[in-house]
Amino acid sequence: MVMLVLCFLLVTKVLSEAPPGPPQNVHLNNWQLTWTPAKEERNVTYTVWYHSFDADQWKDVPTCKQMSSTSCNVNFMKAEADHGCALIGVLAERRGLTSEIARACSSQGNSCSPEVVLSANPGTLIVHLSRNSGISLEGYHVKHRIYFGKEGEPLEAYEDAVSSVPIPNLKDGEHYCASVQYTYFDTPIGVASCTQCKAIPHSSAATKKMEAIVAVVIVLVVVIPLIAYIILFQKKRIKGWFQPSYKIPDHFVLDVRRQSPIPISSNSSTEICNNISSMDFIDQ
């Protein structure tokens, strides 16, 4: 009875256990395949698989089967590449449960992986391609399939090209990525290049537009309020600055001590004079 319960619990645990996550960062560099485990995965083994262009299904690599290490040399794939540029991937396994196959990307070009360099102009991502002369499937039907999209999003959009190609109508300031794979009769073959990303620079017109916007904001936020403050609260002071100054002529000066006007001339005996108590100036 106890054994039945234990077997039932064991079977229930196995059935309820989730499969391991697929390996991450699977890179092929000069036929050396490396990868990193999925987060928080333990007691996991790895198997390398390949898929030839002329094969119907994936096959495991005998020398890279159920390993605990995270690297394997797949130099024997050169022979397979001569017959069809194989796809390469790695899956994780734990207690009979397996992950999906994580496909490898090539960090450098080889006979079955494109050599790719990215550059960027305002609004445009340029994918520079160099056709490797050692590709085993030469001919008119061999092309590059360029997958592209925003950084952090799946690279679902693609474009087929024979040589370098610009990807236009992109947003300035955004980061865009691309990955390239060979195709033969529109069928993807070989290991794709690893994803590369570039920031799209701002155009000079956009820079000038931004400067104009900043200038308008400064005028609205600083200049106009300052002018309004001066007009509302400093009007009298400013008016005083522009008011013309007056100078009283010497013959109008009063002798304050005598409280009598200073004689203007000696021939004023026949004139009628009065003491001046105040004067008003009239603008001409």
Q: Which domains does the chain have, with CATH numbers?
A: 19-106 (2.60.40.10), 115-199 (2.60.40.10)
| Residue 101 per-residue DSSP state | -
Look-up of token digits 């090539």: 106
Q: First and final CA of the chain: distance in angstroms?
A: 126
At 133 the pLDDT is 46
Ordered per-residue pLDDT tens for the chain, 284 residues? 556 545 545 544 554 478 899 999 999 988 899 999 988 777 899 999 998 877 778 889 888 999 999 999 988 777 665 555 788 999 999 988 999 999 999 987 777 888 899 999 999 999 998 765 445 455 567 889 999 999 999 998 999 988 889 999 999 999 999 999 988 888 888 899 999 999 999 877 656 666 778 878 787 777 788 777 777 766 677 666 666 666 666 665 555 555 555 555 555 455 566 666 655 655 55
Q: How many CB atoms lie within 10 A of CB 65?
A: 14
Give DSSP secondary structure letters for 52-68. -TT-SS-EE-GGGSSBS
What type of residue is 42?
R
- Which residue matches tokens 């936020």? 221
CA distance 107 to 12: 43
* Predicted local distance difference test score (pLDDT) of residue 18: 85
CA of 74: how far to CAs of 15, 81, 85, 113, 282, in Å? 34, 11, 13, 15, 107
